Amino acid sequence: MPFGHSKPTTTIYTMTDRKKLANAIRFLAMDAVQEANSGHPGAPMGMADIAEVLFNDFLQHNPKNPQWFNRDRFVMSNGHGSMLPYSALHLSGYDLAIDDLKKFRQLHSKTPGHPEYGYTPGIETTTGPLGQGIANAVGMALSEKLLATQFNQTGHDVIDHHTYVFLGDGCLMEGISHEACSLAGTLKLGKLIAIYDDNNISIDGEVGGWFTDNTPQRFKAYGWHVVENVNGHDSQAVKAAIAEAQANSDKPTLICAKTNIGDGAPNKAGSHDCHGAPLGAEEIKATRQALDWPYAPFEIPEEVYAAWDATQSGADKEAQWNDKFAAYSSAHPELAAELTRRMKGQLPDNWQQQVQKYIKQTASDAPQMATRQASKLSLEGLGPLLPEFFGGSADLTPSNNTFWSGSKSINDGDFSGNYMSYGVREFAMSAITNGMALHGGFIPYSATFLMFSEYARNALRMAALMKIRNIFVYTHDSIGVGEDGPTHQPVEQTPTLRMIPNMNVWRPCDAVESVIAWQCAVEKTDGPSCLLFTRQKVQHQERSADQIQKIYHGGYVLIDCEKHPEIIVIATGSEVGIAAEATKILNEQGHQVRLVSMPCAETFDQQTDAYKQSVLPASCTKRIAVEAAHGDYWYKYVGLEGKVISQNTFGESAPGNVLFEHFGFTTEQIVKTATELL
């Protein structure tokens, strides 16, 4: 069906006709799932009436410009129901043709099995792991409120949009929904509207055997406005509920909509049989008869397309906003220019010049310090350049050192700040900041101990999957944590973070590498970064200007020998200082030993073969890798003839320097290992 329909003069919005508009979603969903022989038709069919009201009566969007900044954000947190947003986007006039729906769940299609950011116009975030969509939506609503506070002026509300999210029983069962929704209530995010698909069904059947929470009371306890017992198949009731939610501006709203999963299917509706499997040809035929839908698969009547089409109304809404923004630009040109820059995700014009100046200053006077302190110094230098920085910590701000002199906390309804204490909510914090990155206007960074990246792991994976810029700060990066013991000492976390595709993991050895790690994380726009910092002090390493520039390659020669190296030592983080001492001793003994600092292996791996050979020549097969983490990762660099000095057991409770001695992270151990190899 071509795009660009005009709505008819008389819009068909009687209850009967509205049901027909909703049925278009039902049949597109069941036909696409049937065609793919895979998928979840039940949720789209059950929520079709709700989606029809939201898209046709409330949603502020422009199908011809899905990236219009002041659009409402719509998130399908129960992402298995992906054919609902695909159908609604197609019907509304987005660049999502009927042939795209026919290719549901097929290779390289615009309609993957779960909504994926970047594949489909109008999809705001990748959902599927349940609960993360609602957490992303919290981040989007938070971004809207922050930007409105920072940029709106009297008579010029240029940031003014809602965030809508659909979610189901599974999202509410996942613990992340508690973390995120509790915080949303505390923050009073009044433009966040969540619609709960209360259908009493999950894959295993009726949820009464394992989910009996009083959901309305739970959300009231969070501080949400709750609209209870809404008939999700009554368009007027749904419309009234959303209008009530919009009118309640001082609290987020949960609309509890009673629905019938697979609504319209005569024999399978209300059953888990339609949750995660095609309805089957006979049931689809029966559904067509029951709903009086005499059309072939994927056929939508012209009048339904015309009634759904939002291209003209969306263009009009954006044009009205453009006029409003032009008036804003005239009245407040500096604010408008800054907001435009941030909406485009561009860095300030003086960014590179000022960063290089700060790196030079750091290299000249950096004292011996823990890299978590060096991280704070980095923020002191880079923070003033980036008003879009939004930081936070999961109740570890004094330990993470993420609150710099320009930080201002948001609290007590004051959203003019740039820092938030997330409480002990590592998973939600990471997913919320994903939502902020997706919304635009901010470069978020968030922090906890490296050990607790485990709680946040799936949100990190989603950031990498979506290729979004988000900066995850992790301090206390090894057994150097010390007395807290093995529960707080990471062992396998660093290598497993490196295993996440499209994730850059920086483990700097001193203040200079720390600043560059921060810079590279800020400049990486196609994926997230993890910055790993020590609790304990490390030695400052002397470098030439050329060596400083080579840090950007992820790995470089820090100490070289006079001739071709007999042995190469590779180290990261706090172990670089120990390896440097060992390298000097070995060279003084007459050996030819090279030390390579490898702060970011992912970046090093992306360099040219010529550069990698210049650092790690194939002719030198005797190599040692040193890192206080599980060592298997390093064999790709040292090979079978090499050695890895690593931490392959859990730690112990003792001061960090005692543990480094106990587990062999010493100059003496490196010298001994090198001597054995030589």
372 is in an annotated binding site: yes
414 is in an annotated binding site: no
* Rounded CA separation 49/56 (Å): 11
275 is in an annotated binding site: yes
Angle subtended by helix axes 426-439 and 132-151, to nearest 10: 60
128 is in an annotated binding site: yes
301 is in an annotated binding site: no
Q: Is residue 673 helix, strand or coil?
A: helix
**CB-CB neighbours of 591 under 10 Å:** 17
662 is in an annotated binding site: no
Sheet holding 471-475, edge to edge: 419-421, 389-393, 443-449, 471-475, 529-532, 504-506
**Which positions are catalytic?**
426
161 is in an annotated binding site: no
498 is in an annotated binding site: no
12 is in an annotated binding site: no
* Rounded CA separation 387/441 (Å): 10
425 is in an annotated binding site: no
Alpha-helix runs per DSSP H in 425-574:
426-439, 453-466, 493-498, 511-523, 545-550
- Residues of 548-569 as b/e, b for ≥16 C-beta within 10 angstroms? bebbebbbbbbbebeeebbbbb
* Rounded CA separation 273/280 (Å): 11
332 is in an annotated binding site: no
* Parallel/antiparallel/unpaired status of strands 623-626 and 73-76: unpaired
For residue 447, give the nearest of 405, 403, 479 by alpha carbon: 403
Q: Is residue 403 helix, strand or coil?
A: coil
62 is in an annotated binding site: no
609 is in an annotated binding site: no
248 is in an annotated binding site: no
* Rounded CA separation 615/594 (Å): 9
Contacts of 527 by beta carbon, 8 Å cutoff, 6+ apart: 463, 464, 467, 468, 469, 502, 503, 504
Total residue count of the chain as it appears in this document: 678
129 is in an annotated binding site: yes
399 is in an annotated binding site: yes
80 is in an annotated binding site: yes
Binding residues for substrate: 40, 275, 372, 399, 476, 484, 488, 535
Binding residues for thiamine diphosphate: 80, 128-130, 170, 199, 275, 452
Binding residues: 40, 80, 128-130, 169-170, 199, 201, 275, 372, 399, 452, 476, 484, 488, 535
Binding residues for Mg(2+): 169, 199, 201
